[in-house]
């Protein structure tokens, strides 16, 4: 029987309580004894109160704390049985995508259309509702990659797209298969990554009946896709596939989902279908920008004494790095990039300010705050970049070049909008750019660079920054690097030394832990022969490390560096700085990653001493196959500089070494 408030001794919510008090009191009133979960910035106040809460679910909280911090005494797997590295890409016979479709069934139409779209690789996981499509795979030249979880498939498809510029393709079955791809779709959506996801659906006649493995997939995925479709008739399938690819890759790219009831893949076409895209409401902006706006923008840049180019993921998506570099060098314009814009401008160029924002360089943040003209190219004024919006770039005229008009003046009011493709617009602008004397501004920037270098303490325990810096050096800053989410991600951004576009593969907008491992594998599929390294955290890697088996099965030699601080470090850092060091739910017991990796069939090594770093990295790089390098790093290292949430961009917490 439910206890009443009186019986439970729980106080009713009272004036003066905050939301966390109310929530915990309500949970106690509901007799909640155990709660399962995972931390993150958005629930930090709740975690913090769980540490101290003195009433209500206090006893359970204590128990939970023990559960969270208890060490795992055994490793998850010590099986030495190797999974043989089968490269079981099925034998394919090339089919003619342009041949007649009359008489073919939906599954055949599906494969024919994918080939016509130039799809070479597809990631996914089978199930009943997509069986006809998988059956046809035997006849298809498209390489299918069987992942170990549908989330892994979406991150692989996403990273394949980020690293190649092609559209990533993923397929999953109905119900749980489809719901498992939601995080991957949201990740791609936040970072504007072109992807097409196919899901099987129950028979059309059963939709809405709570049929076996039915989920309202278009309903669930609408907020996390650029667009989605439910196919209702095999006659529409071919056209919808074309529309999906068109929407995914044009304008501001993004993921598109196509939900296909199983009967549509079995049904045969009795006549030639109409394949002409029919998207009257979809008019993506692209191509050149308005000449007059570009002239105004160029004049503003030429007149500026303290300009800064603020460059984002749109420059990478647009393939505009060359044009950007030409504009920057011609006008001697200092360049700072967002996390997603890293590689758009060579960081070894003296004009580079590296990354700006919450964990950007102090010199980039000071330059933005003091510039008189900020030129945003393919960047969306994310809150991790701007800090307190009311204090952002207070003295600057702002020019914003973006393909998506809805991105302009969304967060920051801009003075000169230029809508269109970054590559085309920068090429139009280049001849208009002049180079007035800006020596005082460049000298000021040099002074900030000297005063506030990115730094860390290189002694004692292995420092994660040192591992990343060394990796940059040994790989000549030329590897493709995927990351998880957390401190290691920020150190990768700060210390690798980015030179080229499509080099960093990281989840920026959604910040999806677990992205790194499958992302490295997806990028490896898209870039055979290239060195691909995942710089991961122990927490992030644990979430999806099962995909190392996929790398082994398909002989993909991606490397995985696990920077193990035995903490969910980024959240711990916030708890250290803003919650009085109450490490609620952030100590993170780890397994023997090397044993697991070997059990999966990959190479592996573990290091605990600074002197082992270079040799271990070399061993990893040289290893012929996937390799997990477990690096035990300093446990309570912090990422600096840091702009605390809600502070102005130049109000930074610095490393004590500065």
Ligand X SMILES: Cc1ncc(C[n+]2csc(CCOP(=O)(O)OP(=O)(O)O)c2C)c(N)n1
Of residues 339, 471, 552, 632, which one binds ligand FAD by CB under 6 A? Answer: 339
What per-residue string of b and e applies to 84-108 under the rule 16 or more CB within 10 Å gives b? ebeeeeeeeeebeeeeebeebbbbb
- Contact predicate 484/495, CB 8 Å: no
Q: How many CB atoms lie within 10 A of CB 166?
A: 17
Cα–Cα distance, 262 to 240 (Å, whole number) = 16
Q: Which member of 53, 162, 249, 252 binds ligand FAD (CB under 6 A)? A: 252
* Least Cβ distance, residue 192 to ligand FAD (angstroms): 5
| Structure-token pair, residue 551 | 């790398």
What single-letter DSSP state applies at residue 589?
-
Interface positions, 538-557, toward Mg ion (CB under 5 A)? 538-539
Among residues 402, 469, 595, 637, which is the contact residue for ligand FAD, using CB under 6 A? 402
Q: Cα separation of 270 and 293, whole Å?
A: 52
Q: Least distance to ligand X from the beta carbon of 543, Å? A: 7
The DSSP secondary-structure symbol of 517 reads: H
Q: How far is the CB of 499 from ligand FAD (least distance, A)?
A: 18
Residue 359 contacts ligand FAD per CB under 6 A: yes
- The residue written with tokens 């909280």 in the block is 61
By CB under 6 A, tell whether 385 contacts ligand FAD: yes
Q: Which stretch binds Mg ion (CB under 5 A): 237-245, 355-363, 406-414, 561-569?
A: 561-569
Residues in 255-314 at the binding interface with ligand FAD, rule: CB under 6 A: 312-314
**DSSP-assigned beta bridge partners for residue 628:** 560, 604
Binding test (CB under 6 A) with ligand FAD, winner from 163, 187, 338, 544: 338
The CA angle 551-504-498, to the nearest 5 degrees, is 130
Nearest to 444 by CA among 353, 338, 337: 353
If one asks whether residue 569 binds Mg ion (CB under 5 A), the answer comes out as: yes
**Binding partner of residue 626 among ligand FAD, Mg ion, ligand X, none, CB cut-off 5 to 8 Å per kind:** none
Q: At what angle do helices 44-52 and 569-578 cross, to 10 degrees?
A: 70
Segment near ligand FAD (CB under 6 A), from 142-150, 354-362, 514-522, 645-653?
Answer: 354-362
| Cα–Cα distance measured from residue 194 to residue 487, given in angstroms and rounded to the nearest whole number | 27
Is 538 within 8 Å of 565 (Cβ atoms)? yes
- 456: tokens are 């860390």
Helix (H) or strand (E) holding 151: helix 150-164
- Kindly state the number of chain residues that form the binding site for ligand X, as judged by CB under 6 A: 23
378 binds ligand FAD (CB under 6 A): yes
Nearer CB in complex with ligand FAD: 63/654: 654
* Residue 174: CB minimum distance to Mg ion, A: 35
Of Mg ion, ligand X, ligand FAD, none, which one does residue 376 interact with (CB within 5 to 8 Å by kind)? none
Residues 493-552 contacting ligand X, CB under 6 A: 511-514, 537-540
111, 115, 118, 122: CA torsion to nearest 10: 30
From 13-21, 28-36, 200-208, 358-366, span contacting ligand FAD (CB under 6 A): 358-366
Size of the site for Mg ion (CB under 5 A): 6
Among 150, 191, 547, 595, binds ligand FAD (CB under 6 A): 191
In degrees, rounded to 5, the angle at the alpha carbon of residue 264 between the alpha carbons of residues 263 and 266 is 65
CA atoms of 658 and 651, how far apart (whole Å): 15
Is position 358 an interface residue for ligand FAD (rule: CB under 6 A)? yes
**Contact partner, 571, from Mg ion, ligand FAD, ligand X, none, Cβ < 5-8 Å per class:** ligand X
Q: Is 192 in the site for ligand FAD (CB under 6 A)?
A: yes
Among 253, 484, 522, 557, binds ligand X (CB under 6 A): 484
How far apart are alpha carbons 103 and 235 in whole angstroms? 11
> In whole angstroms, how close is the CB of 68 to ligand FAD at the nearest point?
21
Query: What's the min distance (Å) between Cβ of 27 and ligand X?
Result: 20
Binding mask 552-581 for ligand FAD (x = CB under 6 A): ------------------x-----------
Contact, 463 vs 457, CB < 8 A? Answer: yes
- Quick note: the x/- pattern for ligand FAD over 419-438, rule CB under 6 A, is --xx----------------
38 touches, from Mg ion, ligand X, ligand FAD, none (C-beta below 5 to 8 Å by class): ligand X
Dist CA 56 CA 47 (whole Å): 15
Using CB under 5 A as the binding rule, whether residue 575 contacts Mg ion is answered as: no
- 379 contributes a contact to ligand FAD by CB under 6 A: yes
Q: Is 565 in the site for Mg ion (CB under 5 A)?
A: yes
Strand partners, 257: 197, 228
Q: What is the 3-state secondary structure (H, E, C) of 211-240?
A: CCCCCCHHHHHHHHCCEEEECCCHHHHHHH
Q: Which among 389, 402, 395 has a CA at the least distance from the CA of 310? A: 402
Please say which residue, 104 or 489, places its beta carbon nearer to ligand FAD: 489
CB 578 within 8 A of CB 630: no
Q: What is the footprint of ligand X within residues 27-46 (CB under 6 A)?
A: 38-40
Estimate to the nearest angstrom the gap between the alpha carbon of 99 and the chain centroid. 38
* 369 lies in the site for ligand FAD, by CB under 6 A: no
Beta-bridged to residue 560, according to DSSP, are 534, 628
Site mask, ligand X, residues 553-582, x = CB under 6 A?
Answer: ----------x-x-xxxxx-----------
DSSP conformation letters of 255-309:
EEEEEEEHHHHHSBPSSPPP-----TT-----SPPPHHHHHHHHHHHHH-SSEEE
Does an H or E element contain 631, and which?
Answer: strand 627-632
Residues forming contacts to ligand X in the complex (CB under 6 A) are: 38-40, 484-488, 511-514, 537-540, 563, 565, 567-571
Residues forming contacts to Mg ion in the complex (CB under 5 A) are: 537-539, 565, 567, 569
Residues forming contacts to ligand FAD in the complex (CB under 6 A) are: 191-192, 252, 312-314, 317-318, 338-341, 355-360, 378-380, 382, 384-385, 402-404, 407, 421-422, 485, 489-490, 508-509, 511, 570
């Amino acid at each position: 029987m439910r206890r009443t408030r009186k019986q439970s001794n729980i106080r009713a919510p009272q004036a003066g309580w905050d939301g966390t008090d109310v929530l915990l009191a309500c949970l106690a009133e509901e007799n909640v004894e155990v709660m399962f979960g995972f931390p993150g910035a958005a629930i930090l106040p709740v975690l913090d109160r769980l540490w101290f809460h003195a009433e209500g679910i206090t006893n359970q909280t204590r128990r939970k704390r023990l559960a969270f911090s208890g060490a795992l005494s055994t490793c998850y797997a010590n099986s030495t049985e190797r999974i043989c590295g089968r490269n079981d890409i099925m034998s394919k016979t090339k089919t003619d995508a342009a041949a007649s479709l009359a008489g073919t069934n939906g599954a055949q139409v599906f494969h024919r259309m994918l080939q016509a779209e130039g799809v070479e690789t597809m990631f996914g996981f089978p199930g009943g509702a997509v069986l006809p499509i998988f059956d046809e795979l035997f006849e298809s030249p498209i390489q299918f990659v069987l992942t170990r979880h549908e989330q892994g498939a979406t991150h692989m498809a996403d990273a394949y797209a980020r690293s190649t510029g092609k559209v990533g393709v993923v397929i999953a079955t109905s119900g749980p298969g489809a719901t498992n791809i939601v995080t991957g779709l949201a990740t791609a959506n936040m970072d504007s990554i072109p992807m097409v996801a196919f899901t099987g659906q129950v028979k059309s006649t059963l939709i809405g009946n709570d049929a076996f493995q039915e989920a309202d997939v278009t309903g669930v995925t609408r907020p996390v896709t650029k667009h989605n479709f439910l196919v209702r008739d095999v006659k529409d399938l071919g056209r919808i596939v074309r529309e999906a690819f068109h929407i995914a890759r044009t304008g501001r790219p993004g993921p598109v989902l196509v939900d296909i009831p199983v009967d549509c893949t079995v049904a045969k076409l009795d006549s030639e279908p109409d394949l002409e895209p029919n998207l009257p409401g979809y008019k993506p902006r692209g191509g050149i920008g308005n000449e007059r706006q570009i002239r105004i923008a160029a004049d503003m840049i030429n007149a500026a004494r303290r300009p800064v180019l603020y460059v984002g993921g749109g420059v990478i998506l647009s393939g505009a790095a060359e044009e950007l570099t030409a504009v920057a060098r011609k006008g001697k314009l200092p360049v700072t990039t967002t996390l997603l814009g890293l590689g758009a401008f060579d960081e070894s160029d003296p004009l580079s300010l590296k990354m700006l924002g919450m964990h950007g360089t102090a010199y980039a943040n000071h330059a933005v705050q003091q510039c008189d003209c900020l030129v945003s190219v393919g960047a969306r004024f994310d809150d991790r970049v701007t800090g307190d919006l009311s204090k952002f770039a207070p003295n600057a005229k702002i020019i914003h070049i973006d393909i998506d008009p809805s991105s302009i003046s969304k967060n920051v009011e801009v003075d000169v909008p230029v809508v269109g493709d970054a590559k085309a617009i920068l090429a139009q602008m280049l001849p208009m750019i002049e180079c007035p004397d800006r020596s005082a501004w460049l000298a000021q920037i040099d002074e900030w660079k000297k005063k506030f270098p990115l730094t860390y303490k290189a002694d004692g325990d292995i420092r994660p920054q040192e591992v990343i810096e060394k990796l940059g050096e040994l790989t000549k800053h030329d590897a493709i690097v995927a990351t998880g989410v957390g401190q290691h991600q920020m150190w990768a951004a700060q210390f690798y030394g980015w030179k080229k576009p499509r080099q960093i593969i990281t989840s920026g907008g959604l910040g999806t832990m677990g992205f790194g491992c499958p992302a490295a594998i997806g990028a490896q599929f898209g870039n055979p022969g290239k060195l691909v390294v995942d710089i991961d955290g122990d927490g992030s890697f644990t979430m999806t490390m099962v995909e190392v088996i996929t790398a082994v099965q398909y002989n993909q030699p991606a490397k995985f560096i696990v920077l193990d601080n035995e903490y969910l470090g980024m959240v711990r850092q916030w708890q250290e700085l803003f919650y009085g060091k109450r490490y609620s739910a952030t100590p993170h017991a780890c397994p023997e990653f090397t044993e697991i990796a070997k059990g999966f069939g990959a190479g592996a090594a573990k290091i605990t001493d600074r002197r082992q770093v270079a040799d271990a990295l070399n061993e990893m790089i040289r290893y012929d196959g996937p390799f997990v390098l477990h690096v035990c790093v300093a446990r309570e290292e912090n990422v600096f500089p840091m702009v605390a949430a809600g502070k102005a961009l130049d109000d930074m917490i610095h490393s004590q070494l500065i």
